[in-house]
Structure formats: C-alpha cells, structure tokens
Structure 1
Amino acid sequence: MDRAQLLLLGLPLFLFCSDLISLFSPPPQKPPHGHHHHHQPPPPSQPRTFVDPDNMELPSEKSSRHGGVGLGNTVQINFCASCSYRGTATNMRTMLLNQFPGLDVALANYPPPLPKRLLSKVVPVVQIGVIAVVVAGEQIFPMLGYVAPPPWYFNLRANKFGTIASTWLLGNTLQSFLQSSGAFEVYFNGDLVFSKLKEGRFPGEMELKELVGRKMANARLADAIVNHMGKRHMLQEKDSSRLKQMDQ
C-alpha cells in the first residue's frame, strides 16, 4: 500500500473509533450554576395601574372627540396587484389620510375578468405538458397510441434546452398578462370617483384630493339637509300634538 491508500483507509477508521469513544464515554458533569450564573435581584415592583372598563375610551370615541375631517367616510382603492401598482396605491392612501384625518382608506386587489383568470390557470398545465413531452416523449407517445413520435417532436428534441426555456419564459409572460387587470379604481362611500380603466392614466395627488374633498362636501351637505328635515318634522309633530291638546 502506498501512502494515499493508507490515508484513505486510516481516516475512516479514525473517525469510526472516535465515534465509538464518544458514544461510550460518560457525559461530562455540568458545573454548578452558582459559579457561573449570578442571580440578579428582581427589579422593584412598579405600582399597577387599574383601568376601569366603563371609562376606557375606544379609538372611535377618541377620533370623534377630536373631530376628524373624514370621520365616517370610506375610500376604497382597488388596484392591479400583479402590475406593481401597490406602491402608488400606498402613496395615495398616505396622502388621503394626511389630508383628511379620520378617513378610512382601504386597499384591495382588482381581479381580471373571469375568462382571463381561467386561462391563467391553464397556462401552467400547458407548460408542464410541453416540458414532459420534450423530456420523455418517446415513452409518452406510445402510451397515447402513436407507433412513432410525430416529426415535430424530433425538431423540439433536437433543441431540448431552447424549447424548455422558451416554453417557460413565454408561459410566464402569458400568465402574468392574463392575471393583470391594469385597474386603479377609487371609490368614495361606494361611488366611483376615478377609474384608470376609463381614463387610461393614474390620478394625480391633487386631483384625487379635490375629487375626494368634493364628494365629502356633498356628503356633508346631504347629511345636513337630512338632519334639518328630520328636526323640522319633529317640530311639526310637537306643534300638532300641542294643538290637539289645546283643542281637547
């Protein structure tokens, strides 16, 4: 035996013997905890503050007391999540929250139409099928009843790597297109304020601020009119009841 063979034979034997020694040797004793761990005195107890649940203020009560400008109103921003519109939607949300304190701004995904969603589910199946045929077509075609693979299979098999890469890239591109809606729709209390699908562009920050502010002013005016009409109706009922009592 030369030195290389001795080294290759001795190294496994050495590792095996070291494993046996470590297996049958008793475990080392753990040192006492007092020599290594110094117990610190517990921190002085702080006085506990008891909260009365009856007097506790909820977030809605605090915001109503502060009188938020947008309190009671909701803005819904539905955007295409697969189009990288989340950053724009987040910036618009931050701007609206700063301009209209108390406003509820919600973000949600705007899904593509149903036919595009169904086709996007088919694309991965086609990708896997094409790759499987390219890799194992000689076994798949006889199972399908073909005596010999068709001529186009040999053309694909001749450039196996290029076919698989093209199938993967084109399939992913098609799937991302089918999953995208290109939408950036803004709703105020359920009413459409701005639509990228109709306008073909994103709203500007000042533009969206004016649109939401105008809708909010109209909502306040409508609430004021309703409240005024309700109070007037109550006063009329009180007057009519007084007249009836006087007649009796």
Structure 2
Amino acid sequence: MNIYYCYSCGYRKVFEDYAGIIQQKYPEISVIGANYDPPGLNMYLSRMIGFGKMILIMCILSGVNIFAWLNKPQPAWWSWCLENKLYACMMMFFLANMIEGQLVSSGAFEISLNNIPLWSKLETGRIPQPPELFQIIDNTLQFSKMDMPNSNFV
C-alpha cells in the first residue's frame, strides 16, 4: 500500500497513525509513505524563491549594493534594508518561507493498494475515517482474490 501525503500540511503524523492501524488490522500489507510532490512548476518556483532569498539575505548582510552592478540608482527600500539588516533579513526570510510553503502545499493524502487508487483527498476534500478505509481495503482485497470461474468463456 502506498500513501502519498502533503508534508508541509502536517499529514506525516496522520500517515504514521494510519500506517499503524493498517498494520494492526492487515499485517500482510506493507505500508509505504512518501511526500506528494506539488503539481506543475510549483516545486521549481519554490526552489528559485529559496535560492533568491538566500542571495538577497547574503547581499543585505554583506552590505553589497546589487543595483550598482546593474548600473541603476539604489532605491530607497534597498537603503532601508542595508540600514536595518536584522529586521530586513528576518522579514525577507519569513515572507519568502510563507510563499514557498504556499507553493509546495498540495493538501494531498492519496492512498493506493497494488497501484489501484483507494482514496484521494484531492478529489474528496477529506481524509477517510478508519472504518471507511477498512471497508474499502476489504472490498479491494475481496475483489482481487476472486477467481474467474471459466476463463475460456467467450
């Protein structure tokens, strides 16, 4: 069984709880969990913002005027950042982290058994209750164990 969850949404604890109760009820099923990667370019944008955040913080702390390299006059907000380094770096760090978190937050909790999707929080909008999940697993296992009575039937 594979469970893909949104790490930034705090679903790791939910995964651990569900993995434990599934292992208790179905010891023959191994539960594997992994982070659900965000869709599209969100991960790349998040990484670029993180990289840019670190460069800007290093420029602020070192007092580098990046606008001199671009042959542009230094704006007032950059002068403020250089004068208030600690506050500017903290603000840059927390603002960039908030944007990065929004980009990578998928809200996913996807459950599949033998590559058969059992539950999708992205589609239903909620995480299944344990009895509900047990019912779905039982039905899937029962269906997969059924033998076709006459495979030569046309």
TM-score normalized by the length of structure 2: 0.84
CA change 1:132–1:89 in 2 (3 A) is closer
CA change 1:133–1:101 in 2 (3 A) is closer
- Of 94, 97, 101, which residue of structure 2 is paired with 1:176? 101
Larger radius of gyration: 1
- Between the aligned residues of both structures, percent identity stands at 27
- Of 132, 135, 152, which residue of structure 1 is paired with 2:77? 152
Q: Given the alignment of the two structures, is residue 197 of structure 1 paired with residue 122 of structure 2, yes or no?
A: yes
Distance, in Å, in 1 between the alignment partners of 2:32 and 2:59 is 46
The structure with the largest helix share of the pair is: 1
Q: Given the alignment of the two structures, is residue 164 of structure 1 paired with residue 89 of structure 2, yes or no?
A: yes
User: 1:137–1:153: 8 Å Cα contact kept in structure 2?
Assistant: no
Q: Which residue of 2 aligns with 1:229?
A: 150
Give deviations 1:115-162, integer Å, cap 9, x for gaps: 110111111222123324434244x3333223x423332233343322
TM-fit CA distance, 1:213: 0.5
4+ aligned runs moved over 4 Å, structure 1: none
Q: Which residue of 1 aligns with 2:143?
A: 218
TM-score normalized by the length of structure 1: 0.55
- Of 115, 122, 127, which residue of structure 1 is paired with 2:41? 115
Q: Given the alignment of the two structures, is residue 130 of structure 1 paired with residue 56 of structure 2, yes or no?
A: yes
Q: Which moved more, 1:128-137 or 1:159-168?
A: 128-137
RMSD: 2.0
Structure 1 unaligned residues grouped into runs of 5+: 1-74, 234-248
Distance, in Å, in 2 between the alignment partners of 1:94 and 1:128 is 39
Q: Which residue of 1 aligns with 2:10?
A: 84
Find the residue that maps to 2:74 and give its secondary structure. Answer: coil
Distance, in Å, in 1 between the alignment partners of 2:20 and 2:100 is 31
Structure 2 unaligned residues grouped into runs of 5+: none
Give deviations 1:7-58, integer Å, cap 9, x for gaps: xxxxxxxxxxxxxxxxxxxxxxxxxxxxxxxxxxxxxxxxxxxxxxxxxxxx
Find the residue that maps to 2:8 and give its secondary structure. Answer: helix
Find the residue that maps to 1:219 and give its secondary structure. Answer: helix
Tell me how many residue pairs correspond in the alignment. 151
